[in-house]
């Protein structure tokens, strides 16, 4: 099943005992996790999340065999599970085939080849595909549908084109931009002048300055630049969402390049393959050298957590969340 068609919609019934969240798009991954939580009773005692590089198979099997404290279905999700699947493939095939098991197994992987036995056991209906078809996806059309679905507001065609041209096919960035526009729109529609006035061009320019300050380890300078931008008008939430969208746009590519470099890809090749423009290669390389392996390894997850916190997952003010994130990134190399 394509998660692009299921964002903020219930999972089709009947529910299954095995699921795979397969693909690298973080926005769709989060949508898949939310759908599973809603289908199986929330994220309380019955929903356990394991880290693939750390969990062992026995722990996972025990978790699936343990009933939920408050009743309901037990769900065990293994995040970043590609290596875990490779190491425990035979055992996972046996576990997934166990018809007497009451718990639900969820594997979050970058890919799940359809010709493998595990993929066939999970089945197409249990595979939530989190990828965007680069050729067939129309970001402007998606923005119009998403804006109506999520915010109940009509995004005019010209406005949708402005958003799409500014943010490309990054679903997370597009979604944040739509939330910002919906909050700012006085009526039930969003027109081109509003989209143009709130486009991320200014935020992108400011973020480059913050990016350079972080790479230089100058947290105080990065915060001063952000403070100056926030003082030019706009609500705290609007400013925070715009700033985070622009920053995350670059940092996700840095994280991707960093993973490639740690995997043995030459630096410049990794930067190019990660979508980093030639003019930005120097600053991006400097950022990677500053962050170091440990922060690079968890950068993608940190970006997802920040995004979730800004969208209501934290009681801290939006600005405070951004300040903490910048300070962590700008700190000395671990």
pLDDT reported for residue 261: 95
Instruction: Calculate what percentage of the chain has a pLDDT beyond 70.
Output: 94
pLDDT reported for residue 166: 75
pLDDT at 70 over 60: no
Q: Is 192:226 a contact under the CB 8 Å cutoff?
A: no
pLDDT at 254 over 60: yes
What residues contact 18, with CB distance under 8 A and at least 6 apart? 96, 104, 105, 106, 121, 122, 123, 126
- Terminal Cα-to-Cα distance of the chain (whole angstroms): 40
For the segment 108-123, the average pLDDT, to the nearest whole number, is 96
Strand partners, 129: 2, 22
| Sign of the CA dihedral with 42 first, then 44, 47, and 48 last | positive
pLDDT at 69 over 60: no
Model confidence at 20, pLDDT cuts 50, 70, 90, reads: very high
Model confidence at 256, pLDDT cuts 50, 70, 90, reads: very high
Q: Is 276:253 a contact under the CB 8 Å cutoff?
A: yes
pLDDT reported for residue 201: 56
pLDDT at 258 over 90: yes
Q: Is 36:106 a contact under the CB 8 Å cutoff?
A: yes
pLDDT at 165 over 80: no
pLDDT reported for residue 101: 81
pLDDT reported for residue 280: 78
pLDDT reported for residue 275: 81
pLDDT at 67 over 70: no
pLDDT at 125 over 80: yes
Q: What is the pLDDT of residues 82-115, one digit of tens each?
A: 999 999 999 999 999 997 887 899 999 999 999 9
Q: What is the pLDDT of residues 183-224, one digit of tens each?
A: 889 999 999 888 877 765 556 667 888 999 999 999 999 999
What is the CA angle 65-1-54, rounded to 5?
40
What is the CA angle 18-23-24, rounded to 5?
135
pLDDT winner (highest mean) among 52-66, 104-118, 194-208, 223-237? 104-118
pLDDT reported for residue 173: 82
For the segment 306-317, the average pLDDT, to the nearest whole number, is 90
**Secondary structure percentages of the chain, helix, strand, coil, to 5:** 60, 10, 30
Domains and CATH numbers, the chain: 3-129 (3.40.50.300), 139-197 (1.10.8.60), 201-330 (1.20.272.10)
Average pLDDT over the chain, rounded to an integer = 89
Model confidence at 72, pLDDT cuts 50, 70, 90, reads: low
For the segment 129-151, the average pLDDT, to the nearest whole number, is 92
């Amino acid at each position: 099943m394509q998660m692009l068609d299921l964002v903020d919609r219930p999972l089709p019934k009947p529910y299954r005992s095995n699921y795979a969240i397969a693909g690298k798009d973080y926005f769709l991954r989060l949508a898949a996790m939310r759908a599973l939580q809603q289908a199986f009773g929330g994220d309380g005692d019955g929903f356990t999340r394991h880290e693939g590089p750390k969990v062992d198979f026995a722990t996972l099997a025990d978790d699936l065999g343990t009933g939920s404290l408050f009743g309901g279905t037990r769900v065990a999700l293994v995040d970043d599970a590609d290596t875990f699947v490779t190491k425990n493939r035979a055992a996972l095939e046996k576990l997934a085939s166990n018809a007497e098991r009451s718990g639900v197994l969820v594997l979050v992987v970058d890919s799940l080849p359809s010709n493998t036995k595990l993929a066939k056991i999970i089945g197409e209906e249990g595979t939530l595909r989190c990828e965007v078809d680069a050729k067939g996806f129309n970001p402007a059309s998606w923005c119009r549908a998403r804006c109506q679905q999520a915010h109940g507001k009509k995004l005019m065609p010209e406005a949708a084109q402005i958003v799409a041209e500014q943010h490309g096919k990054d679903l997370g960035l597009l979604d944040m931009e739509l939330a910002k526009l919906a909050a700012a729109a006085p009526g039930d529609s969003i027109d081109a002048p509003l989209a143009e006035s709130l486009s991320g061009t200014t935020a992108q320019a400011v973020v480059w300055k913050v990016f350079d300050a972080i790479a230089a380890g100058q947290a105080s300078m990065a915060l001063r630049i952000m403070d100056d931008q926030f003082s030019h008008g706009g609500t705290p939430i609007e400013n925070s969402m715009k700033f985070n969208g622009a920053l995350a746009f670059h940092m996700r590519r840095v994280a991707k390049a960093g993973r490639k470099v740690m995997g043995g890809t030459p630096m410049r090749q990794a930067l190019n393959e990660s979508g980093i423009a030639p003019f930005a290669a120097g600053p991006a390389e400097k950022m990677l050298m500053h962050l170091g392996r440990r922060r690079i390894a968890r950068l993608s997850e940190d970006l997802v957590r920040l995004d979730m916190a800004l969208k209501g997952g934290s009681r801290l003010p939006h600005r405070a969340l951004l300040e903490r994130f910048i300070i962590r990134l700008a700190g000395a190399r671990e």
